[in-house]
Structures are given as C-alpha cells and as structure tokens.
C-alpha cells in the first residue's frame, strides 16, 4: 500500500457466540449448534456454527425454521456475560496494535493502522499478527479484511470466512470492486437487489453503467451512496466512538396480538422498560422524538415517529395506531423508543439502529 493511502483493517470474529460455546463445550464442535431463543417463544437465531450452516441455518432466521431445516440442531440460549468477557479480551489484543479502533458490535471492529510503525507499516502483517494472537490467547478465530477504506475492508473480511484474510491492494481495487455482487453493498437489501436485478444489474461493474442521476431518481439519497460504493469510494473515517442517538425496547409475543387495542395494551410495560433504559442517559441526553415499531404476522414491519421533547403514553398510543393502520393485521412484535439529541461536541455522531438486538 502506498504511503498516502489509508490502511484499514476490519476484524470479524467467526460465528462468535457459537464459537465461545464451542470453546467452553468442545464436545459441541462437530455438531450443528446455534445460539438463539426457543421456538415456542418465537425466538430467532443469533448465530450458528458452520456445521449448522451446511443445513441452511443462518442468523436472524426463526428458530422454528432452523429446527425444520436441522432437527438435530443443538440450541442454547446463550450467555451474554461470558460473550462480553471474551470480547473484551479480544479488544484488549486489538488495542496493542492501534489506538484508533471503532467497535461495530461485540465481535466486530475497524482498526486504522495508517502510519503504524509495526511490521514496517504493513497492514497485512498487522492483521496476520492480530489473528494469531487472538487465536492463541482466546481460542477464537477472526477473519480480517485489509483495504484503503471501511467499505472494502468490511467486504474483504467476509471474503475468505471462516478464519480468513483478504487484502484489497489499491492497485487492483477497481478489479476487485467490479466483480462484487451488488448484494455485498451495505444497505442493499432484498427489495433494492430485486429492483437492481430488474435493471439487469447484478454486479458493481454493471452498476457502474448507471449514472448518479439515474440512481438518485431510482433510490433517492441512497442512490448517491450506491454510485460511490459501486466504485469502491468510501471516505468515512474510523471513529473512536459511536455515540448512541436513540434508546429503545421491543417485545416479540408468543401469540400474535389480534388488533390495535391489544397492541396498545402492551404500552405500560414497554414504556416502563424504556424509562429504565433511558435512565443512564438522562443527565447527558435530552429526548427529542418518539418512535413506535410494529412487526406484523407476515414479518413485514413499519415504524411511526414524531418529534417531541416530552412524549407520553397518549403520544405512543397515537404512534402505535398510525403504524397499525398501515398493516391492519395481527402483530407479532411491538417496540417503542426515544430519539436523543446530539451530545455536545458530537455534531456528527454515528446513528445506531433504534431497535438494536442484544446479539
């Protein structure tokens, strides 16, 4: 990598929760294993090991579906305290190699090693050393991507999973990006992918044939981002912290809620939990908005929100009604949340998902 090029490493632990369980229970290493909620409680899979993935099981899949695909699946509820303990040991290792670390989740992070004197400044050798240290000291394998920006490093870390390393040389970056499937671009979900396929676009090379104006007309503001990422352009810096700009809670019900009144009847308990979660932010962050989320029986979902400095139950009742009217069918999940103001001195704080998972 040339002297003026950023050197970014994206590190992602392989099937982390399941990996910790296999570390603690070696007898589970060769059997299909998943960490997730019980099927009778409409649980979902948080992660699973590679023997389970051979049956088609994957994260975010309903546990009921996972058990259909793999009846012999070993399902464990998980131990978040244990996962955090192992994750902290892993991040301690990362800190030996860089002071510029951006945690993305409990098992994923970006490191900026631009200008590092370690290994003669070789980001590839730094990544190799980190992976070796993590494996030796914790027993966990980490896949790494090395590139000149966050987007490409993220894509690269997934390229040779599990226990892999992929380096995107700036001299071959255009070639690497051109052959990427568009589904690898962050933000391209099933609907966007379907729309692009309708245009005959499956790869970034094909996406590059569309102008920025065309993409903006088709996808709004996200179109400009698509145009940039299709060319491997990403100017985001590795940030030392990710300031929370929202707090939320949600609940998935074992039986569908049949109507609007049943959804609104859940508000007392949800709002009590939301207040408990907000308490630790109360002194530093003001509430500036309220959000309600519904996921319907068919897994479609919607959110309704409004600006308010003092949202009360009546406001959330109205938001729940607004959201419910869009689907008017049984509901499996209800969520509520507060939008928080920007902390002083953090005008460009990174937005975290409002309804984030414990996984």
What domains appear along the chain, each with residue ranges and CATH number?
8-15+81-169 (3.30.70.270), 17-80 (3.40.1170.60), 179-229 (1.10.150.20), 246-340 (3.30.1490.100)
Q: CA nearest 15: which of 42, 39, 43, 51?
A: 51
* Cβ atoms 356, 250 nearer than 8 A: no
Residue 38 C-alpha from the chain's centroid: 22
Bridge partner residues of 12 (DSSP): 108, 143
What per-residue confidence (pLDDT) applies to 241? 65
On the CB side of 38, how many CA atoms lie within 13 Å of its CA? 4
Q: Return the active site residues.
A: 108
| Cα–Cα distance measured from residue 127 to residue 111, given in angstroms and rounded to the nearest whole number | 10
| Residue 107 assigned as binding residue | yes
> Can you give the pLDDT of all 359 residues of the chain as single tens digits?
444 589 999 999 999 999 999 999 999 999 999 999 888 877 889 999 999 999 999 998 999 999 999 999 999 998 988 999 999 999 999 999 998 999 988 999 999 999 999 999 999 999 999 999 999 999 999 999 999 999 999 999 999 999 999 999 999 999 999 999 999 998 888 888 898 999 999 999 999 999 999 999 988 888 999 999 999 999 999 988 666 678 899 888 889 999 999 999 999 999 999 998 898 788 878 999 999 999 999 888 899 999 998 999 999 999 999 999 999 999 999 999 999 986 543 333 333 344 443 33
3-class DSSP state for residue 158?
Answer: coil
CB-CB contact of 258 with 330 (8 Å) = yes
C-alpha 319: how far from its chain's center? 26
Using an 8 Å Cβ cutoff, are 304 and 322 in contact? yes
């Amino acid at each position: 990598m040339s002297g003026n090029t950023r050197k970014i490493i994206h590190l992602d632990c392989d099937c982390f929760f399941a990996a910790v369980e296999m570390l603690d229970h070696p007898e589970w290493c060769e059997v299909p294993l998943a960490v997730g909620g019980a099927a009778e409680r409409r649980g979902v899979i948080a992660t699973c090991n590679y023997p389970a993935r051979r049956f088609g099981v994957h994260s975010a899949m309903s546990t009921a579906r996972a058990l259909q695909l793999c009846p012999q699946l070993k399902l464990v509820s998980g131990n978040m305290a244990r996962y955090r303990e192992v994750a902290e040991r892993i991040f301690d290792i990362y800190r030996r190699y860089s002071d510029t670390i951006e945690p993305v989740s409990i098992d994923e992070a970006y490191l900026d090693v631009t200008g590092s004197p370690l290994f003669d400044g070789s980001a590839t050798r730094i990544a190799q050393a980190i992976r070796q240290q993590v494996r030796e000291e914790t027993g966990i394998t980490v896949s790494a991507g090395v590139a000149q920006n966050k987007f490409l490093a993220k894509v690269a870390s997934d390229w040779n999973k599990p226990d892999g390393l992929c380096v995107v040389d700036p001299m071959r970056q255009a070639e690497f990006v051109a052959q990427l499937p568009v589904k690898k671009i962050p933000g391209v979900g099933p609907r966007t992918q379907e729309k692009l396929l309708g245009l005959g676009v499956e790869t970034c090379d094909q996406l590059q044939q569309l102008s920025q104006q065309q993409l903006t007309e088709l996808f709004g503001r996200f179109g400009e981002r698509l145009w940039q990422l299709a060319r491997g352009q990403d100017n985001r810096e590795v940030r030392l912290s990710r300031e929370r700009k929202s707090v939320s809670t949600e609940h998935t019900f074992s039986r569908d809620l049949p109507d609007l009144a049943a959804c609104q009847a859940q508000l007392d308990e949800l709002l009590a939990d939301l207040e408990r979660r907000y308490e630790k932010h109360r002194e530093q962050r003001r509430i500036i908005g309220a959000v309600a989320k519904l996921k319907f029986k068919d897994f479609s979902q919607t959110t309704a929100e409004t600006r308010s400095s003092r949202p009360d139950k009546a406001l959330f009742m109205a938001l729940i009604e607004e959201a419910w009217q869009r689907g008017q069918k049984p509901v499996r999940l209800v969520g509520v949340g507060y939008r928080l103001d920007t902390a002083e001195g953090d005008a460009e704080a990174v937005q975290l998902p409002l309804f984030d998972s414990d996984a």
